[in-house]
Amino acid sequence: MDDQLAERLADVDARIADAARAANRDPAGITRIVVTKFHPASLVEALYALGVRDVGENRQQELTSKTAEVGSLDGLSWHFIGQAQSNKARAVRDAASVVHSVDRGRIAGALDAAGQPQSGVLDVLVQVNLTDDPGRGGVSPDGVVGLAEHVAGLAGLRLRGVMAVAPLDEEPARAFERLAAASARVRTVVADSDWISAGMTADFPEAISMGATHLRIGSAITGPRPTRG
């Protein structure tokens, strides 16, 4: 099991390096986050032993229980990539190092208010909806600058950039081009907010070609997710 995990991780990392070279980019400028959702905490520990230092979770309850189970591992960052509810902001803030999915002022305000004197500043990204369906997560591209300005005004949060999931019915590179445009607009608000969180198992090479700095890769590394009823 761990042999296969090591092989898949090495294979994905080789593909990341290839895609970076093809785009004339330094692979060292790309952070590979391993999405461990639905898998047990033991998988996080196995990944850590293989050198992984960034993991991603998309549900608050799972994030909370897994961080408690794994405990503190030196240098391990937990990225929250799912829909956040304002009334769970405290739990997210307690467990996450980075929140990728800030898509409205209310959740930004709740994450800010959840900070404790000792908690320091929370790194956040503004999630952009690249689909035509307002029901999907993310602020519409038109709302990105307004939300970025709002986040920039909150002392407990540090705006780092933008995040998105590619639509299913569109060439991913085209969608990621719109995300790159949103990133440029966000950088007019906070100049160094240059993170672009994009690219999953199916589309990370395209995301790299469009400037992604943070990849969120699950099944290509972890294998198929256990099903949840």
Ligand X SMILES: *Cc1c(COP(=O)(O)O)cnc(C)c1O
Which residues are within 8 A (CB) of 95 and not within 5 positions of it... i.e. 6 or more apart?
A: 60, 63, 64, 67, 78, 80
Rounded distance between C-alpha atoms, residue 200 and residue 178, angstroms = 17
**CA–CA distance, 53 with 33 (Å, rounded to integer):** 8
Q: Is 156 in the site for ligand X (CB under 6 A)?
A: no
- Closest to ligand X by CB, 154 vs 200, is 200
Residues 21-60 that bind ligand X (CB under 6 A): 35, 37, 58
Q: For ligand X, give the closer residue by CB, 116 or 219.
A: 219
Helices (H), 23-101: 41-49, 60-70, 89-95
Nearest-5° angle of CA 136, CA 30, CA 121? 70
Residue type, 144: V
Residue 161 forms beta bridges with which residues? 125, 195
Closest separation between CB of residue 202 and ligand X, Å?
6
- CB 15 to ligand X: min, Å: 12
Closer CB to ligand X, 19 or 35, in the complex: 35
* Span of 59-67, 86-94, 113-121, 213-221 interacting with ligand X by CB under 6 A: 213-221
Contact call for residues 92 and 84 (beta carbons, < 8 A): yes
Distance CA 135, CA 167 (A): 13
The reply to whether 165 sits near ligand X by the rule CB under 6 A is yes
Q: Vertex 40, ends 36 and 45: CA angle to 5°?
A: 75
Report the residue number, 85 or 219, with the smaller CB distance to ligand X: 219
Q: Which residue is nearest to ligand X (CB)?
A: 218
Quick one: 99 or 144, whose CB is closer to ligand X? 99
- Residue labelled with tokens 């520990």: 45
Please identify, using beta-carbon distances, which residue of 81 and 159 lies nearer to ligand X. Answer: 81
Using the rule CB under 6 A, which residue among 31, 64, 86, 201 binds ligand X? 201
Q: Is 96 in the site for ligand X (CB under 6 A)?
A: no
Residue numbers at the binding site for ligand X (CB under 6 A): 35, 37, 58, 81, 165, 200-202, 216-220
